[in-house]
Homo-oligomer: A and B are copies of this chain.
Amino acid sequence: DGSKLDYGGILDRLNAGEVVVGDGGYVMQLERRGYVKAGHWTPEAAVEHPEAVRQLHREFLRAGANVIQTFTFYCSEDKLEISGNVSNISGAQINEAACDLAREVANEGDALVAGCVSKTPCYVKSHSETKVKAIFKKQMDDFLKKDIDFFIVEFVDHVEEAEWAVEVLKTSSKPVGATLCISPQGDMHGVPPGECAVRLVRAGADIVGINCHLDPLTCIRTVKLMKAGLENAGLKAHLMIQPLGFHTPECNLGGYTSLPEYPFAMETRAMTRWDVHQYAREAYDAGIRYIGGCCGFEPYHIRAIAEEVSAERGFLPPASEKHGLWGAALGMHTKPWVRARAHREYWENLLPASGRPKCPSMATAADDYEK
């Protein structure tokens, strides 16, 4: 399973106890770079501006990612149509172009390609297993025309829809990872994380976990609940996590969309690289071995994961050539007070100020969703 004979497929790696570093967030970063439209969040840039997508893939690879995810978020036919953002480009074109880009960059290093599907509008609208599965099948068929190593189902908030996706993708005989965007309170119908994990594994998922919607420490709590659920059920699966790169301590079910700052004023909430060190360590200690990021994770955040687990992996990522560990390269700064910051204790203990004395530290999340 998996085309990378030299290094092994995703399950070989995880079975061998390796730490797999995931890549970061595409849509929000490419929005800032000028290639994705917020609100729509569709991935037409894979066709329109392949150089931009390729470059971001490369930066994640260089930062240490072992997996390059196809840039196919929200790229089901029904979502593209509703979004109304893309004309003259079909979903199949995007899916195929995205596979090519991911493969091209993955082959530049030690990385696998994951074909990614996300939640469909059809699920909430029709609640029809037949229709939803047909949509996932169509997107899978696009991927299977190309060379991908495994699948990831991500950003699904109803476990039932994720089960359907897993069932479809498993017909390919490739490994499947499934990450829900839910809180410790469970999915949108109140199914608790532990039960979600059990249902996903029973549907065929090889790897389960959480992505997006909430900050790293909250997502770790949710994955721990999933892990406990699997243990209680006597099941085994690999665990993965790709949380937000933003601090969202006041969020519950709705995740970051219920924050007033979403999506155009999230800057203040961005994690520092040192926050990511803490996250990577806590994820590792929780037994999670596929550790990446979602919205808000830029290349330097992925590098911080790779640097934090460099002892476990035995090597640093390429981009660490341009990074002094724990700020070490500041030792040659011209200003003495900056040179004094060239060590771990400084950055681990810093509480960063926002420079915004008229702003609060926590927001009131949207009431209608935070029940």
Binding site for B on A (CB under 8 A): 31-40, 51-52, 55, 58-59, 62-63, 83-84, 121, 215, 246-250, 254, 257-274, 298-300, 303, 318-319, 321-324, 327, 329-338, 341-342, 347, 350-364, 366, 368-369
Chain B residues within an 8 Å CB radius of A32:
298-300
Contact A260 B353 (CB under 8 A): yes
| Residues of chain B within 8 A of A261, CB atoms compared | 350, 352-353
Q: Please state the number of chain copies in the assembly.
A: 4
Given the interface pairs A264-B274, A353-B260, the reply to whether A34 lies near B59 with Cβ below 8 Å is: yes
Cα–Cα distance between A248 and B303 once the two chains are bound (Å): 27
Inter-subunit contact A359/B353 (CB<8 Å): yes
A333 to B39 alpha-carbon distance, docked (Å): 5
Shortest A355–chain B CB gap in Å is 3
Q: Which of B33, B39, B268, B337 contacts A330 (CB 8 A)?
A: B39
Contacts of A342 in B (CB 8 A): 39
Given contacts A31-B322, A323-B37, A324-B37, contact A269 B358 (CB under 8 A): no
Beyond A250-B353, A351-B360, 11 extra complex contacts between A and B, CB < 8 Å: A34-B318, A34-B322, A215-B355, A249-B355, A260-B341, A265-B272, A268-B268, A353-B361, A355-B362, A357-B360, A357-B362
CB distance from A108 to the nearest CB of B (A): 11
Can you report 12 A-B residue pairs in the complex whose CB atoms are below 8 A from each other? A32-B300, A34-B299, A34-B303, A37-B329, A52-B55, A52-B59, A121-B334, A262-B341, A264-B341, A267-B267, A337-B368, A357-B357
Closest to A270 in B: B267
A341, B319: Cα distance in complex, Å: 38
- Structural contact, B34 and A268, CB atoms closer than 8 A: no
Query: Are A33 and B300 in contact, CB atoms less than 8 angstroms apart?
Result: yes
Contact A267 B262 (CB under 8 A): no
Of the listed residues A59, A332, A334, A356, the one surrounded by the most CB atoms of chain B closer than 10 A to its CB is A356
CB distance from A345 to the nearest CB of B (A): 13
What's the minimum C-beta distance from A239 to chain B, rounded to whole angstroms?
25
Per the bound structure, the CA–CA distance linking A31 and B247 in Å amounts to 22
Which B residue sits closest to A262, measured CB to CB?
B338
How distant is A11 from chain B, measured CB to nearest CB, in Å?
28
Contact A359 B355 (CB under 8 A): no
Q: Does B358 contact A363, Cβ atoms closer than 8 Å?
A: yes
Q: Which of B55, B329, B368 lies in contact with A39, CB distance below 8 A?
A: B329
CB-based contact B268/A270 at 8 Å: yes
Contact check, A356 vs B354: say whether CB atoms are below 8 A apart.
yes
Contacts of A303 in B (CB 8 A): 34
Given contacts A268-B354, A350-B261, A356-B352, contact A322 B35 (CB under 8 A): yes
- Most chain B CB within 10 A, of A35, A265, A366, A368, is at A265
Q: How far is the CB of A190 from chain B (nearest CB, A)?
A: 19
Contact A352 B299 (CB under 8 A): no
Q: How far is the CA of A125 from the CA of B63 in the complex (A)?
A: 37
The CA of A324 and the CA of B37, in the complex, are separated in Å by 8
Assess the B358–A354 pair: CB atoms within 8 A.
Answer: no
- List B contacts of A260 (CB < 8 A): 341, 350, 352-353
> Provided the pairs A62-B34, A83-B332, A323-B37 are in contact, do residues A356 and B347 lie with their beta carbons within 8 angstroms?
no
